[in-house]
């Protein structure tokens, strides 16, 4: 059990709350829009598929964060904020972490291959994206958006798992997730602004002032709200979906009220608690709206 706890901490498993709700929203939308003859032949056909999608999400998350911790192990050791992470502190060895990544990558590709041909073909591409983020901050301040892209794969992948094709709705959700995640990652990166500048690492906060960084974060969240409105417009008319969208938007606004150039002590609350509540609330209300539409 202790080993499980160590690896869960290594990959920040609790942060699955950021992407998983959007995958579930997309999954339910895909199931509800599937041909009726499929549902009539087997009303529970989606159950096994849901397990496969959730497993893919878990394996991909483990690869992304495990590889990030492995790639950043020397940087984390220098940073007082991250020096006690599992690899720098010695709780998990670098070799064990890399093997953890390899095993989860194999499990991800193998599970994706059991769903349909498109998920099988795209699974290595998804892994490339989620792993690429770990090296982006070494050469570009757009690393925040690459992180957003890695999370944005979730709704598109979940839809493809069900329907075996691309569609507009999951792509709109992907735009929402990419800008939402990119924005709150800029806020999170404020904590390491001075360290990143000293080490020559690239981020929006290390390149711009705190105020300008927060303005960029706000601009990205404006795009997020626009994508949210587009998504709601594409959904069946339901008061539940509107409530979920309103809560999500309100939490985003609250995030920028709590974190200002003179009030950075609230970054932890804004990053973890508020964004977790936002994604969960939106998913719960959207799924209720879809189920009863």
Residue 176 has pLDDT above 70, yes or no: yes
Residue 1 has pLDDT above 50, yes or no: no
**pLDDT category of residue 10 using cuts at 50, 70 and 90:** confident
Mean pLDDT of 117-139: 96
Residue 14 has pLDDT above 70, yes or no: no
Parse the chain into domains and list their residue ranges: 2-291
pLDDT > 90 fraction of the chain, expressed in percent and rounded: 85
| Lowest-confidence region among 70-74, 96-100, 166-170, 263-267 | 263-267
- Residue range 239-281, pLDDT digits in tens: 999 999 999 999 999 999 999 999 998 998 888 889 999 999 9
Would you state the CATH architecture of domain 2-291?
Orthogonal Bundle (1.10)
**pLDDT category of residue 170 using cuts at 50, 70 and 90:** very high
d(CA 233, CA 17) in angstroms, rounded, equals: 25
Residue 171 has pLDDT above 80, yes or no: yes
Of the two residues 11 and 213, the one the predictor is more confident about is 213
Mean pLDDT of 111-122: 97
pLDDT of residue 142: 95
Contact criterion met (CB below 8 Å) for 160 and 49: no
- Residue range 146-165, pLDDT digits in tens: 999 999 999 999 999 999 99
Q: Provide DSSP, the chain.
A: -HHHHHHHHHTTGGGGGGTHHHHHHHHHHHHHTS-HHHHHH-TTHHHHHHHHHHHHHHHHHHHHHHHHHHHTHHHHHH-TTTTTSHHHHTSS-HHHHHHHHHHHHHHHHHHHHTT-HHHHHHHHHHHHHHHHHHHHTTT-TTHHHHHHHHHHHHHHHHHHHHHSS--HHHHHHHHHHHHHHHHHHHHHHGGGHHHHHHHT---HHHHS-HHHHHHHHHHHHHHHHHHHHHHHHHSPP-HHHHHHHHHHHHHHHHHHHH-BTTB-TTHHIIIIIIHHHHHHHHHHHHHHHHHT-
d(CA 193, CA 265) in angstroms, rounded, equals: 14
């Amino acid at each position: 059990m202790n080993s499980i706890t160590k690896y869960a901490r290594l990959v920040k498993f609790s942060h699955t709350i950021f992407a998983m709700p959007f995958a579930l929203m997309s999954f339910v939308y895909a199931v509800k829009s599937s041909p009726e003859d499929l549902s009539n032949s087997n009303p529970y056909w989606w159950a096994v598929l849901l397990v496969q999608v959730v497993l893919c999400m878990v394996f991909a998350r483990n690869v992304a964060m495990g590889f990030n911790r492995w790639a950043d192990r020397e940087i984390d050791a220098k940073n007082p904020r991250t020096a006690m992470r599992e690899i720098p502190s010695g709780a998990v060895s670098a070799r064990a972490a890399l093997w953890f990544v390899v095993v989860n990558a194999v499990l991800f590709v193998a599970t994706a291959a059991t769903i349909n041909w498109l998920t099988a073909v795209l699974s290595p591409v998804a892994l490339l994206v989620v792993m690429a983020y770990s090296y982006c901050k070494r050469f570009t301040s757009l690393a925040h958006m690459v992180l957003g892209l890695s999370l944005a794969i979730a709704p598109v992948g979940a839809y493809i798992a069900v329907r075996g094709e691309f569609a507009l709705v999951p792509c709109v959700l992907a735009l929402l997730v990419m800008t939402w995640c990119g924005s709150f990652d800029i806020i999170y990166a404020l904590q390491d602004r001075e360290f990143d500048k000293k080490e020559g690492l690239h981020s929006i906060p290390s390149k711009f002032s705190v105020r300008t960084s927060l303005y960029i974060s706000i601009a990205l969240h404006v795009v997020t709200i626009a994508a949210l409105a587009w998504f709601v417009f594409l959904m069946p008319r339901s008061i539940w979906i509107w409530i979920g969208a309103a809560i999500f938007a309100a939490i985003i606004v609250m995030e920028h009220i709590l974190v200002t150039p003179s009030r950075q002590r609230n970054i932890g609350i804004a990053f973890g608690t508020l964004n977790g509540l936002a994604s969960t609330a939106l998913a719960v209300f959207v799924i209720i709206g879809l189920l009863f539409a």
